[in-house]
Amino acid sequence: MENKFHYYKMIFFNRKFKITEPKPPLDVTEAFNFCTNSEPQMSPDHFRRFLIEFQGEEEDITIDDSKSIMELVLHRFRPNFTLCCFTLDDFFKYLFLDDLNGPIISKVHHDMTAPLQHYFIYTGHNSYLTGNQLNSNCSEVPIIKALHKGVRVIELDLWPNSAKDGIHVLHGWTMTTPVKLGICFKSIKEHAFVNSPYPVIITLEDHLTPNLQAKVAKMATDIFGDMLYHPKTGDNEDEYPSPDELKYHVILSTKPPKEYLETKLEEELFVAEETLNGCKNGNPTDERINSNQEGSISSLNQDLSQSLRLDFEDEDGDIGNEKPGQKTPLEYIELIGIHAAKANKEVRKALKVGLGKGKRLSLSEQTLEKAADLHGTDLVRFTQRNFVRVYPKGSRVTSTNFKPLLAWMHGAQMVASNMQGYGKSLWMMHGMFRSNGGCGYVKKPDFLMSNSPNNEVFDPKVTSYVKKTLKVTVYMGEGWHMDFSHTHFDKFSPPDFYTKLYMVGVPADVIKKKTRVIKDDWIPIWNEEFTFRLTVPELALLKIVVREHDVSEKDDFAGQTCLPVSELRSGIRSVPLHNKKGVKFDSVKLLMRFVFE
């Protein structure tokens, strides 16, 4: 009996640990033979042909360029090589190198000279929390981690300390332990531009008294120095500097104080009245202009009361700290680079209110859903000139996130996510901001920033024609036997992997596909092709998830990634996979092909 046990044990052991050396897929072999004219070795000239004809690289790539890539590969696998040429095996190994043959463009390549409102911006929510929203620690560590990932908008909630003489960062009305504001500011200064040179925006939820606001102003000025962006009087009220102009700058964004708004709107009303009086006193104009001016004055009067009501409620519905007789210090007001507001009930009115330069409207995810349903085109039109920040609902106490696509398709620039969490919604956030070299700024599609001749704007609810067809081939995967223990998926046999492909974007483009299950193989080979017809490819994300099939339990997670379709490089590409938290595996990759028609 004991011998029989050892016999079966040896069978299971051998099945589990035996790794078969993979062979190149047929498409890879055919590409090699085509480019080499069926010769056994690929020269730099042959390789250049492959890069241009199969991978869609620009024709100005030179033989020296292709030779340099080949030498990098050969140094890794055959360091003593004497002749710069690829065998089929070398070529196959090259295709699996995601640093040289990755699926998306790895450099900043968007136009970075447009106003800041023209970009989606990588945005964090409660950036100081290490865990859940109720009783986790507050720390500078998650802020540093977010900045290293490319996050460009950091949120800090400011509260007085117990002695009322200092400033703490914490999630108010919870049991979260505080961290000092000075520590957060210093950490932001030190790590702001490690990953990206483009501006960092700090959104402040301010629960401070004026004397503490003065301390914030001094602290920000002393710590950030020349990094700190100071709005210039007389700048274009509707336009904002570009990411290029704001490189290596820190921008503060919060609600401006009530007395500032009163003065601002009264000034606008005065100018409008003076203009109208000039018209009525005989200045060259016509009745249509007079009528428009009168309408503007009426609108400004409405704005005065509407704006003050909109602007002084924070995300939890609390009224701001100002008390009768207290005035916010001027030095604090002058540092507010992007003025913030929040709409709770009168969303449609809020989308038509103009509070001057750099207005940022904050919407909860529920308010966004209602606004998108009832006033979708108004929201798109608003985001052409103003910022919209969308934040998770308060019931997400475990730091989960909402799906960001609805916000993006309506032009919202700042979709705030709990970066310390994980899940499918955060995978989409990671995917979007892999765009444009991972710099944290993604240029919005032109159709979100333009109007038709009839002054109509993009409407996500309207189904358009198919603009682009994407064909995706899933060839094979490898690396699990190096990144996972051999008993992780199954105690007695190799894993049974399959791949799911999700296209997410506007409703018309949403679809999912699935490969067959490959049984008992650490290196699964699928060789399956899928077709996706896209009406708005500019907003589409390809989410890829590999799982291990389990008959008796829930299928095991085996890796994921999310790729922006607009950034995909055509050809045969190495696609690295990540764990549930978005950390890239050392070895797990898929070999895939992307073809656009």
What is the set of active-site residues?
125, 171
Question: How many Cα atoms occupy the beta-carbon half-sphere of 584 within 13 Å?
Answer: 13
Question: How many Cα atoms occupy the beta-carbon half-sphere of 237 within 13 Å?
Answer: 5
Give the 3-state secondary structure of residue 340.
Answer: strand
Q: Count of CB atoms within 10 A of residue 527's CB? A: 12
At 514, list the tokens: 């699935």
What backbone phi and psi angles, to 5 degrees, belong to 554? -65, 140
At 371, list the tokens: 């606004």
At 72, list the tokens: 């990098």
Stated length of the chain: 597
Task: Answer yes or no: are the C-beta atoms of 580 and 425 closer than 8 Å.
Answer: no
- DSSP output for 405-444: HHHHHTT-SEEEE-TT--SHHHHHHHHHTTGGGG-SEEEP
Task: Answer yes or no: are the C-beta atoms of 121 and 413 closer than 8 Å.
Answer: yes
Match 């291990």 to its residue by tokens.
Answer: 548
Give the 3-state secondary structure of residue 532.
Answer: strand
Task: Answer yes or no: are the C-beta atoms of 392 and 401 closer than 8 Å.
Answer: yes
Give the 3-state secondary structure of residue 429.
Answer: helix
Query: CA distances (Å), 358 to each of 96, 115, 341, in order?
Result: 45, 10, 11
The DSSP symbol for 411 reads: T
Cα distance between residue 285 and residue 352, in whole Å: 26
User: Who's near 33: CB < 8 A, 6+ residues apart?
Assistant: none
Q: Are strands 584-596 and 571-578 parallel, antiparallel or unpaired?
A: antiparallel
Q: Which amino acid appears at position 123 of this protein? A: T
Cα distance between residue 321 and residue 338, in whole Å: 19
Of 375, 381, 590, 593, give the one whose Cα is nearest residue 471: 593
Q: Count of CB atoms within 10 A of residue 502's CB? A: 19
Task: Answer yes or no: are the C-beta atoms of 490 and 480 closer than 8 Å.
Answer: no
Cα distance between residue 568 and residue 56, in whole Å: 11
Task: Answer yes or no: are the C-beta atoms of 118 and 449 closer than 8 Å.
Answer: yes
Task: Answer yes or no: are the C-beta atoms of 121 and 152 closer than 8 Å.
Answer: yes
- Cα–chain-centroid distance for residue 529? 28
Q: Are strands 387-391 and 414-417 parallel, antiparallel or unpaired?
A: parallel
Q: Are strands 167-169 and 153-160 parallel, antiparallel or unpaired?
A: antiparallel
Cα distance between residue 259 and residue 495, in whole Å: 66
